[in-house]
Amino acid sequence: MTAEEVKEMILNGADKETIKKALELIYPGAMQKIKELLAIIGDNPDREGLKDTPYRVVKSWLEIYGGYKSNTSKLNTTFSDNIGDVEDSQIVMCKDIDFYSTCEHHMIPFHGYCHIGYLPDKKVIGVSKLVRIVEHFAKRLQIQEKLCSQIADYIEQTLEPKGVGVIITAEHLCMKARGVRNATSKMVTSQMRGKIRTQIQTREEFLTLIGLNK
Ligand SMILES: [Zn+2]
């Protein structure tokens, strides 16, 4: 049983007991442990509102932590026909890819936007794949710095482009709801490699396209 198969079951309208059994195979013992946690927090896990909470929490992991189970072979369909000699000035970009991830220090969400640009050499990739790459690395316990570099690494390795840039801006609920309680700050991380780093005009263009070069 894979997470994808369980998601499929849910989409096809499987009943709760069947889904529960499938979740138990993927995340053994998890529902029982969530029930224990609810009691540790100070609530009564048997009260009406919480009765199904362990089930719902674990079911949500299929999405929130789905990146651990997703398959990279689906991500890297590249196209290499007929792009010929690409000018060094041709940036391929996908910006404003929104994502949700979970901070590995507090298990509290952070969310924001990822902007990806690259200078193709011989290979390009479908834009929807860029979105999937972001999801693959976001849907797990993360820190923003690592998310940014993993996406850049992946694009470098798969497309061998002349340059790649990844910029992420995100809001961290662990900073808003607790800790320093700063409601407006955003964290920005960037990875610029190859000619997107070294060729000043290209870098400027990349930042202008994202809208960060004001
Ligand atoms: Zn945190």
The domain locations on the chain are 3-64, 78-209
Active-site residue list = 103-106, 144, 172, 174
pLDDT average, residue stretch 180-208: 90
Query: Which of these ranges, 58-62, 80-84, 92-96, has the smallest mean pLDDT?
Result: 80-84
How far, in Å, from the CA of 1 to the mean position of ligand 1? 32
Q: Show Cβ contacts of residue 40 under 8 Å, excluding neighbours closer than 6 positions.
A: none
Confidence (pTM): 0.89
For 173: left if phi > 0, alpha if psi spans -120 to 50, otherwise beta; the answer is alpha
Strands (E), 56-127: 78-79, 92-103, 109-119, 124-125
pLDDT at 84 over 60: no
Say if CB 130 and CB 94 are below 8 A apart.
Answer: yes
Q: How far apart are alpha carbons 166 and 154 in whole angstroms?
A: 11
Q: How far apart are alpha carbons 12 and 213 in whole angstroms?
A: 46
Q: What is the pLDDT of residue 3?
A: 86
- Among 1.10.3720.10, 3.30.1130.10, 1.10.1060.10, 3.90.1150.10, name the CATH number for the domain at 78-209: 3.30.1130.10
How far, in Å, from the CA of 96 to the mean position of ligand 1? 23
Q: How far apart are the first and last CA of the chain?
A: 50
Strand arrangement, sheet containing 163-172: 141-142, 92-103, 109-119, 163-172, 187-194
Q: What confidence category does residue 178 fall into, taking pLDDT thresholds of 50, 70 and 90?
A: confident
Say if CB 4 and CB 69 are below 8 A apart.
Answer: yes
How far, in Å, from the CA of 137 to the mean position of ligand 1? 17
Q: What is the pLDDT of residue 70?
A: 76
Backbone angles phi, psi at 13, to 5 degrees: 80, 30
User: Apex CA 142: angle with CA 61 and CA 2, to 5°?
Assistant: 35
Query: What residues have their beta carbon closer than 5 A to ion ligand 1?
Result: 103, 105-106, 174
CATH architecture, domain defined by 3-64: Orthogonal Bundle (1.10)
Q: What confidence category does residue 9 fall into, taking pLDDT thresholds of 50, 70 and 90?
A: very high
β-strand partners of 141: 102
Q: What is the pLDDT of residue 179?
A: 79
The strand pair at 187-194 and 163-172 is best described as antiparallel
How far, in Å, from the CA of 41 to the mean position of ligand 1? 19
Tokens 């993927």 found at: 26
Q: What confidence category does residue 177 fall into, taking pLDDT thresholds of 50, 70 and 90?
A: confident
pLDDT at 82 over 60: no
